Each structure stands twice: as C-alpha cells, then as structure tokens.
C-alpha cells in the first residue's frame, strides 16, 4: 500500500510539473530566478521550447506542411534582451503559393508588487521583411522587457511546399526543456541527419502509426513533388502510414562562442531534413536528393542556373571587342574577370541561382552572386575556356555533409587549365584569381560541368597571404626615435586592405595607423597599387617620430626592438578548446628591422636567435638577431602553412604562439660605451 501511495504521489508531482509548460502557466518561481543554476554566465535561458511538424490534408489543397512553435524564455539581464526578438524565415517564390504565419500569440510576464503581470504582444511590433528574391522573414519583439521577465509566444506556420525546416536542438543559451515531434506520411521520403560535428549528443526515436483521412470527394487530381499533393480515391476513407520522430531533452547546455570560429552553427546540435523522394499512392515516383548526382541534376536543370549558362547574345559584341587580338588564355581570363567586376555590382544578396537573370543584371549593372558568377562562367566559355560553376556553402550557411540542395547558397566560377584550376568570384570587387573572399572559403565546393556531371574540389588551401614589413629607425641621443616603415601586402592581405580602406580618407587612415603605437606621429604616408585590382600586391610606406619607447632603469636602457610591431599578448587564453581554430587563409609575416644606436651607447643584451616549429611543417617562428658596430639587425618570421588548427592541437599551438609573444616582447638592453683604452 505504501508503494502504491508513493507511486501515486510521483505521478501527481510529474503531472503538476508537466502542466507548467502549458501556454500562460507562468510560476513565481520562474520569475524570481536570477540566474541559471547550471550556467551562471547565461544572460537568458529557454525554459521550454516545443516544435511540432505535421502534414495536414484537405480536399482542396492536398498536403500542406504545418509547423507549430511554442517558446518560453527567461531573461536575466540587459545582455539577454536579444532573446525577446524572434525571427521566422519564410519562402516566397513569387507565385500564389505562399507560406503563411498564423495564430501568433505572445506575452511578457513580470512581477509587480508580488503579483504576476503580463503585457500582450502588439501587432505594431510584428514586421515582415524581404531578405532576397525568394526569402523573407517575419520578425517580432516582445514588449516591456525588464531584468527577470519571461517572454512566451507561439505561432503556426503553414507551407504549401513539401519541406521540413532544420531543427535546432541546441541554442546559444541553455535550454531547460526541449520537445520536438514530426509526423511524416509514407509518401514523402526525407533524408534526416544529426550534425556529426556537434559535441552535444542527441537521440531521435522513431515509430510508425496508422492514419485515416475522411475524403469528401472521389475525384482528385494527381500530383506530387514540392508543391501540395492531390490524388484520387474511390473510397471515402484514405488509410496510410506515417512515421513519427521524437526528441525529448532536458538541461541542454549552451553552444558557447570560441574565438577564431567563423560560424558556431557548424557545431550546433541540429536535425537537418532533405526532401529526397516522392512515392505517391498512385505509384508515381520523383527523386530529388537521394544522392549528389540527383541534387546536382535538380540544380542544373533549373532555368535560373543551367539555363543562364547558355545565354550569350547580350554580351557577345562586348566580349568580342574586349578580346580582339588577345590569344593568351591567362590574359583572356583576366580581361573577362575584371570586365564583369566593373560591369555588374553585387547587390549584397547571396544565392547560387540567378536572381534577376544574367541578361537583366548585365543591362542594369546589378545582381546577386548567382547573376554575376553564372554570367562570368558563360563569358569564359564563350571565349573558349574550360569554365564551370562551382556550388558553395558559405561559412554562415554551414557545411553540406550530405546530399542536399539547401546546403548550397553561393556559386563561383572555375577555369580548368593544364596544371590546375583557377577559382574566380566576380561578386567581390577586390578578390583575385584563387584569392576568394572569406565567406566563400568553406571546406569543399562542387564543380558542375556541362551537361550536369560534377565533382568535389578543395577550398581549404587558398593562396597564402603575405605581409612583409621593413622597419628602419635610429635612436636619438635623447632616446626619441625617428624611422621609416615599408610594407608589402600580397594576395588575401592585399584584398583585405583594399576592402577596408577603399572609402577611407587620409586623415582616418593615419588615425588608424597611429592607433596602439604609443606616442607616435606619422607623416609622408604613400600607397602604391591600391587601385590596380589586377595586381596581387599593395605597398605603402610612412615616416614616424616616436617618444617614450625607451625605458631607463639606473644605467641601463630597455627597448623592444620590434617597437609597435611586437605581438604583446597571447590571444589564446582558454585552458581547453572544443572547436578548431580557423584563420581562413594561411599566412606569412616577415619583419626586417634595422636599428641605428645613438653615439656613445652599445648593446649589453640582445634577444638571442631562435627557431621553433609547430606540428611539423604546419607553422614556424624564426627570430634572428645580430649586432655590428652601432647597427642592430633583426629578421623575424611567423608562418602558418595551414589555415586550420584542430582542437586536439590547441594546447601545442597555444604554447607555440605564447613563445612567439615572449620572444617579440623581449627587451634589448643598451648601456653607455666604455671609453677607448679602458675595460
């Protein structure tokens, strides 16, 4: 009897606890909570999130996809206020079939005089925005956000397109309770993938259930695919099976940012869904993403992709005039590449499909990434070059680890030559052959050759950047310093310089140069090759006067030989690391330093020469020092031959980098010279 009573109590407690998640059932305990008991650094916590997906059927519309969302979020302080805003993406292909958001309801709860008060979400705080030709977003912000409040909202999204949104199972803040449920009819086959790069492990349970639909009409039109599906039956009842997928989680840890990770979403626990095949009750079959060949064929056959590559009439006269008497292929590539960059400006929209169409973009001088780089590919082919588009997923879009159309959101052009491949992105004004903007360097790209065949190409070994610094200076008798700097930037570093300073005046540039260099005054600033976009190298120089760079202690004088170019702090302070370091480009930094000592002084102590490697050939730091008469010469080099450092090598890299900091900040010691004839 005692056991039965205990079990009954447990059931009552469990039932009461479950009721807390019903919409509107906010407790004082939740409102009084001042921090997450398992993550004191969190500025907000998702108390409860539930997402449900099912396929609703009606005689008039066929199947539509319904997604219902309920979220309850605790905001502890002002740093967590962003979680009071929700963004719901929706697809709009410009037809009468549109995604619709309904049943939006939300409240902000707070305590006032010990009582729970609430403010309702107002329609004036709900906005609809267009993000590109095919996508928009509905955005709303909850009212009256204060420290300690709770926001709660729910909504329903209906879509005529057969697709299931990716489901996040981990957020940037902790989650106390998460539920997900999807029910998919047997006619729609989806590939589903748990992110293999996620550290947080998740289990999906699957079960099969019977479903019955009552039909009011015996005449149905056949259909299938991405749009709503209708079929015909003789009976008044339609029986079929559907698969149910469930996830039930508690105390999900936050996905916390780490430095030198461009996109933390790559490591987020997520379920990704890809509509692979329709197998209808009338036995009609349509395949979409069962393998990479199917994915590429679907993309290539789209008129906004493959159809754009065959259009040439709009540019033929201009390209003929551009290439007259030019037979060298390297020059032809360069001329066409720079012509497209000057002819069509990027409108800041991504996309592997042409948004406006290549002809319209050409005539209007503006287009998305797809417009520009598909146009570039068509022109290169017209010029007799073996050019093909390369599908890419940008860093913000993640990595396509499985066959998926949605995994690509960008396209560049590739020219295959005898000894390799040249990658081109004309959407970025400052990019160069094989020097892509950072957004486009993400693991692998899929080159799509004529007639739809395809293959993977590596994007993770771009041309190395290079920075060369020549630092010359003399130390005056009063220990002020006069000097000159010569800098050469190559490849990605030249591209970054042009992008950063293109719209910046001389005064602003000088302020930027003087920042963090101590008591310095810079003059005679000169830049070369900045506007020559075909030149992979930029040079600039300046003179400077520097005060208080020499420290006096007794009869000794201390100075850091590299002055303001010394790396003074180790950026890598974490004890451990969960995710790789991503530097985007391999790079080399070279410093040649020449120092003229003041008359009557000599070097007592000079930092010793040293050389150290990181992980074999992946990195190297070299510090070579010498002194002759009144001249000190340093040659310092830091090389990273790979742009990626895996997490298991982090501790070794941290020590390697720390050693470089220690060496570059080591002081040279000067003393007065001994008079001749004395010891």
Distance separating alpha carbons of residues 267 and 281, to the nearest angstrom: 39
248 and 370 housed in the same domain = no
Tell me the pLDDT band of 402, cut-offs 50, 70 and 90: confident
CA–CA dist 336, 465 (Å, integer): 24
In sequence order, the 6+-apart residues with CB closer than 8 A to the CB of 173 are 42, 43, 44, 45, 46, 80, 83, 254
For residue 167, the SS3 value is strand
Residue 19 falls inside a structural domain: no
118 and 76 in one domain? yes
Claim to verify: residue 121 and residue 258 sit in the same structural domain:
yes
Instruction: Enumerate residues 6+ apart whose C-beta is below 8 A from 595.
Output: 473, 474, 475, 561, 631, 632, 633, 634
Burial 415-448 (b: 16+ CB within 10 A, else e): beeeeeebbbbbbbbbbbbbbbbbbbbbbbbbbb
Does a structural domain hold residue 4? no
C-alpha separations of 250 from 90, 180, 269, 325, 484 in Å:
29, 12, 14, 70, 61
Residues 305 and 260 in one domain: no
Q: Which of 436, 458, 480 is the last residue of a domain?
A: 458
One domain for residues 301 and 359: yes
Q: Quick one: average pLDDT of 621-636? A: 96
Q: Which of 427, 458, 489 is the last residue of a domain?
A: 458
Q: Among 147-156, 437-446, 619-628, where is mean pLDDT lowest?
A: 437-446
Does residue 223 carry a pLDDT above 70? Answer: no
Pure H helices in 383-428: none
Of the three residues 441, 458, 475, the one that is the final residue of a domain is 458
Point out the least confidently predicted range of 226-230, 246-250, 267-271, 436-440.
226-230
Neighbours of 244 (CB within 10 A): 14
Q: What residues contact residue 132 under an 8 Å CB cut-off, 6+ apart?
A: 349, 350, 351, 355, 368
272 shares its domain with 407: no
User: If you search the block for the tokens 């990716």, which residue do you land on?
Assistant: 166
Residue 547 has pLDDT above 90, yes or no: yes
CATH, residue 631: 2.60.120.1130
| Host domain of residue 57 | 24-287
Q: What is the pLDDT of residue 313?
A: 96
Whether the per-residue pLDDT at 222 is higher than 50: the answer is no
Judgement on whether residues 303 and 281 belong to the same structural domain of the protein: no
This prediction has a pTM of 0.83
Residue 47 domain-assigned (yes or no)? yes
Q: Return phi, psi of residue 61, to 5°.
A: -110, -15
Average pLDDT, the chain: 90
**CATH number of the domain encompassing residue 95:** 2.60.40.3140
Whether 487 and 602 share a structural domain: yes
Selected residue with higher pLDDT from 227 and 46: 46
Output DSSP code: residue 597. Answer: P
Q: How confident is the model at residue 90 (pLDDT cuts 50, 70, 90)?
A: confident
Model confidence over 51-88: pLDDT tens digits?
999 999 988 888 999 999 999 999 999 999 999 999 99
Here the CATH number for the domain that contains residue 401 is 3.10.620.30
**337 and 307 within one domain:** yes
Q: Answer yes or no: do 509 and 654 share one domain.
A: yes
**Is residue 1 assigned to a domain?**
no
Question: How far is Cα 151 from Cα 54, in angstroms, rounded to an integer?
Answer: 26
Reading the block at residue 306, the tokens are: 């493959």
Question: What's the rounded mean pLDDT across residues 556-560?
Answer: 95
pLDDT digits (tens, 9 = 90+) for 350-395: 999 999 899 999 999 999 999 999 999 999 999 999 999 999 999 8
pLDDT value for 228? 58
**Is residue 130 located within the same domain as residue 35?**
yes
What total of structural domains would you count in the chain?
3
Q: Is the pLDDT of residue 254 over 90?
A: yes
Give domain status of residue 9, yes or no: no
| H/E segment holding residue 306 | helix 306-309
Residue 452 lies in a domain: yes
Check whether residue 227 and residue 323 sit in a common domain: no
Closest CA to 23 of 90, 87, 118: 118
Given a cut of 80, whether residue 341 has pLDDT beyond it is: yes
Does residue 6 lie within any of the structural domains?
no
Q: Would you call 543 helix, strand, or coil by DSSP?
A: strand
In terms of phi and psi (left: phi > 0; alpha: psi -120 to 50; beta: otherwise), the region of 659 is: alpha
Residue 603 domain-assigned? Answer: yes
């Amino acid at each position: 009897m005692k056991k039965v009573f205990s079990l009954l109590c447990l059931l009552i407690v469990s039932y009461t606890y479950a009721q807390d998640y019903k919409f509107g059932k906010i407790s004082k305990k939740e409102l009084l909570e001042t921090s997450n008991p398992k993550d004191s650094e969190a500025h907000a916590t998702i108390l409860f999130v539930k997402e449900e997906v099912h396929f609703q059927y009606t005689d008039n519309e066929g199947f539509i996809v319904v997604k219902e969302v309920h979220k309850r979020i605790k905001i502890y302080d002002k740093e967590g206020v962003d979680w009071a805003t929700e963004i719901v993406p929706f697809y709009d292909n410009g037809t009468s079939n549109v995604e619709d958001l309904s049943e939006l309801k939300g409240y902000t709860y707070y305590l006032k005089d010990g009582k729970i008060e609430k403010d309702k979400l107002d329609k004036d705080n709900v906005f609809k925005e267009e993000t590109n030709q095919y996508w928009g977003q509905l955005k709303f912000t909850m009212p009256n956000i204060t420290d300690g409040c709770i926001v709660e909202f729910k909504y329903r999204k209906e879509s005529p397109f057969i697709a299931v949104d990716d489901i996040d199972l981990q957020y940037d803040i902790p989650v106390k309770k998460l539920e997900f449920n999807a029910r998919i009819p047997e006619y729609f086959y989806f590939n589903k993938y748990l992110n293999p790069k996620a550290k947080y492990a998740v289990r999906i349970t699957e079960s099969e259930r019977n479903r019955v639909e009552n039909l009011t009409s015996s005449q149905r039109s056949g259909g299938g695919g991405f749009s709503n599906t209708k079929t015909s039956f003789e009976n008044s009842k339609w029986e079929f099976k559907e698969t149910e997928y469930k996830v039930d989680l508690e105390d999900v840890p936050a996905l916390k940012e780490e430095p030198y990770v461009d996109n933390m979403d790559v490591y987020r626990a997520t379920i990704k869904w890809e509509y692979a095949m329709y197998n209808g009750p009338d036995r009609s079959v349509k395949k979409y993403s069962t393998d990479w060949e199917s994915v590429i064929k679907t993309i290539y056959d789209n008129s906004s992709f493959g159809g754009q590559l065959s259009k040439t009439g709009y540019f033929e006269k201009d390209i003929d005039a551009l290439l007259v008497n030019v037979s060298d292929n390297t020059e032809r590539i360069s001329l066409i590449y720079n012509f497209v960059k000057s002819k069509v400006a990027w409108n800041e929209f991504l996309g592997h499909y042409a948004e406006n169409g290549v002809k319209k973009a050409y005539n209007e001088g503006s287009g998305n990434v797809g417009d520009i780089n598909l146009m570039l590919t068509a022109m290169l082919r017209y010029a007799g070059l073996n050019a093909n588009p390369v599908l890419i997923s940008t860093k913000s879009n993640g990595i396509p680890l499985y066959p998926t159309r949605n995994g690509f959101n960008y396209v560049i052009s590739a020219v295959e030559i005898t000894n390799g491949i040249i990658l081109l992105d004309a959407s970025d004004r400052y990019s160069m052959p094989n020097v892509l903007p950072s957004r486009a360097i993400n693991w692998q790209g899929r080159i799509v050759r004529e007639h739809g065949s395809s293959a993977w190409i590596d994007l993770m070994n771009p041309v190395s950047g290079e920075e060369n610094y020549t630092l010359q200076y003399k130390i005056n008798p009063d220990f002020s310093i006069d000097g000159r700097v010569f800098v050469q930037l190559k490849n990605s570093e030249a591209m970054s310089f042009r992008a950063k300073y293109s719209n910046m005046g001389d005064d602003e540039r000088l302020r930027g140069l003087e920042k963090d260099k101590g008591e310095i005054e810079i003059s005679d600033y000169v830049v070369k090759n900045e506007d020559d976009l075909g030149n992979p190298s930029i040079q600039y120089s300046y003179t400077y006067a520097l005060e208080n760079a020499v420290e006096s202690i007794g009869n000794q004088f201390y100075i850091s030989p590299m002055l303001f170019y010394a790396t003074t702090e180790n950026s890598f302070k974490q004890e451990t690391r969960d995710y790789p370091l991503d530097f985007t480009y391999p790079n080399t930094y070279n410093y040649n330093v020449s120092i003229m000592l003041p008359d009557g002084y000599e070097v007592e102590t000079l930092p010793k020469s040293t050389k150290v490697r990181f992980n074999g050939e992946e990195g190297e730091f070299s510090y070579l020092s010498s002194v002759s008469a009144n001249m000190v010469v340093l040659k310092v080099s830091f090389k990273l031959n790979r742009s990626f450092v895996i997490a298991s090598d982090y501790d070794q890299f941290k020590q390697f980098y720390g050693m470089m900091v220690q060496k570059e900040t080591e002081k040279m010691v000067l003393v007065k010279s001994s008079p001749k004839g004395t010891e």
